[in-house]
């Protein structure tokens, strides 16, 4: 078991890769009553074409199967795992993203029992034709709920423009047609491939004794047999171009607009440089569009945006993009103004050494405050590890960022051919 200390943050964590390939991370936090466990597989909604474990040819599985699998793992022959956690004084949950699926619990008591429940239920699949068919109706209702959500449709509308061929543009839950095709055999095929310990990460953070807990986990895994590990080969369609503009109508009171920017250049292969690039782009967006920027104040004063205005950068395995959106009575003017602010970044008054220094102080303060949250630490550690870089390595990278790094990142990211517009109008407009 390797121990790694971060004196600047007064943090320490322990890590070990077990014989079956499972990576385990323990974060002791002696002053906390709660313990938080997170079991994550490097498998998400975009992973629908791959070579199954033990096979040699690519297969294509129905869209939404990663999310479907997440639902089904909680159902066992003897009952619902949520009830088991409840009886043991724990709360449990799970979520599927584009690239990961995570299962979690939090509790202040019976930590080892709850940890055992977490590990065992994820590693003991139970699917039957009857239970799979029953779940299709439940997930079908969930899909319809999201299809009726204007902000969800806006988000996937711009993704569809940016990635018209990539499975990224498909709802994480799939479609009603795609989930209708899912069989128990499909679930076992995906489970066997992507839920192999070598593709998973177990993290426990809270008031724990590292050696005792690592021993407990080692013993749990030693009792189980797994197929030999195999590097997972995924395949994605090649993107040819983006859709520059599209629109839909929905039952909304005001129009909505979103500008998307697709990352066309490769993310640096060095893990520290990849994190630096991501942070530089995040700071760039905040400098240009943060609520203290002149750009934001101008758009707000002109009535082009309101309090719904927001922006974000999504950077994960195999893709990255930014989006800037708002409810607006002037969607075309919004798009024109945002694109102008983006493409004129080189002469923008928002990008100065002084503003970068102030923003870095704000971001560093927010980062340090976030380390008080076990949930934040667990999620960041499990899903944002880049090679040898972990959450605790982020601070020195953030501290070292300069205006030149942000300008260089902007030069790689902001390109006319990478920008797309998506509008949502009320049903009685356009």
Q: Is the dihedral of CA 218, 223, 227, 232 positive or negative?
A: negative
- Bridge partner list, 106: 36, 91
- The H or E element spanning position 417 is none
Q: Number of helices (H) and strands (E), helices first, in the chain?
A: 15, 16
Instruction: Say how far apart CA 80 and CA 75 lie, in whole Å.
Output: 5
How do strand 245-250 and strand 419-426 relate by DSSP bridges?
parallel
390 C-beta neighbours (distance < 10 Å), count: 19
| Helix (H) or strand (E) run with residue 241 in it | none
Q: Please say if 70 is a catalytic residue.
A: yes
Q: Which residues contact 298 (CB under 8 A, 6 or more apart)?
A: none
Q: What stretches of 344-417 show up as alpha helix (H) in DSSP?
A: 353-370, 374-383, 394-400, 403-413
Is 34 within 8 Å of 206 (Cβ atoms)?
Answer: yes
The residue among 411, 393, 422, 382 whose CA lies nearest residue 99 is 382
* Helix, strand, or coil (residue 208): coil
H/E segment holding residue 23? strand 23-28
List the catalytic residue out of 70, 75, 286, 350: 70
Cα 394 from Cα 382, distance rounded (Å): 14
Contact of 106 with 90, CB cutoff 8 Å: yes
Q: Could you give the angle at which helices 294-301 and 331-343 cross, rounded to 10 degrees?
A: 160
- Which residue numbers are catalytic? 70
């Amino acid at each position: 078991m390797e121990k790694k200390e971060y004196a600047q943050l007064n943090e320490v964590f322990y890590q070990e890769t077990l014989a079956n390939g499972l990576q385990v991370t323990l974060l002791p936090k002696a002053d906390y009553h709660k313990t938080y466990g997170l079991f994550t597989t490097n498998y998400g909604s975009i992973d629908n074409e791959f070579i199954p474990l033990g096979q040699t040819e690519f297969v294509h599985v129905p869209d939404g199967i990663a999310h479907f699998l997440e639902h089904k793992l909680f159902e066992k022959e003897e009952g619902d795992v949520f009830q088991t956690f409840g009886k043991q004084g724990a709360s449990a949950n799970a979520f599927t993203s584009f690239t990961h699926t995570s299962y979690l619990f939090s509790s202040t008591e019976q930590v080892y029992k709850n940890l055992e429940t977490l590990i065992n239920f994820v590693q003991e699949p139970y699917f039957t034709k009857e239970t799979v068919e029953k779940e299709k109706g439940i997930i079908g209702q969930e899909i319809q709920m999201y299809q009726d959500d204007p902000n969800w449709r806006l988000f996937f509308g711009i993704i569809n423009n940016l990635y018209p061929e990539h499975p990224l543009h498909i709802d994480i839950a799939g479609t009603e047609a795609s989930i209708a095709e899912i069989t128990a055999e499909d679930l076992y095929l995906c489970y066997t491939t992507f839920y192999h310990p070598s593709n998973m990460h177990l993290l426990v953070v809270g008031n724990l004794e590292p050696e005792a807990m690592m021993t407990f986990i080692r013993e749990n895994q030693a009792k189980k047999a797994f197929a030999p590990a195999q590097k997972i080969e995924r395949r994605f369609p090649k993107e040819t171009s983006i859709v520059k503009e599209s629109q839909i109508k929905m039952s909304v009171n005001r129009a909505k607009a979103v500008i998307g920017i697709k990352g066309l250049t490769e993310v640096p292969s060095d893990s520290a440089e990849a994190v630096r690039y991501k942070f530089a782009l995040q700071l760039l967006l905040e400098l240009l569009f943060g609520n203290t920027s002149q750009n934001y104040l101008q758009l707000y004063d002109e009535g082009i945006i309101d309090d719904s205005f927001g922006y974000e950068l999504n950077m994960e395995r195999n893709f990255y993009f930014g989006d800037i959106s708002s409810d607006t009575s002037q969607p075309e003017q919004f798009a024109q103004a945002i694109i102008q602010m983006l493409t004129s970044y080189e002469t923008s008054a928002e990008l100065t050494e002084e503003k970068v220094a102030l923003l870095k102080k704000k971001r560093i303060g927010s980062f340090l405050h976030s380390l008080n949250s076990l949930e934040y630490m667990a999620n960041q550690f499990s899903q944002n590890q880049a090679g040898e870089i972990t959450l605790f390595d982020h601070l020195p990278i953030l501290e070292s960022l300069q205006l030149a790094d942000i300008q260089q990142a902007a030069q790689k990211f902001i390109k006319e051919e990478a920008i797309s517009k998506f509008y949502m109008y009320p049903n009685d407009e356009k």
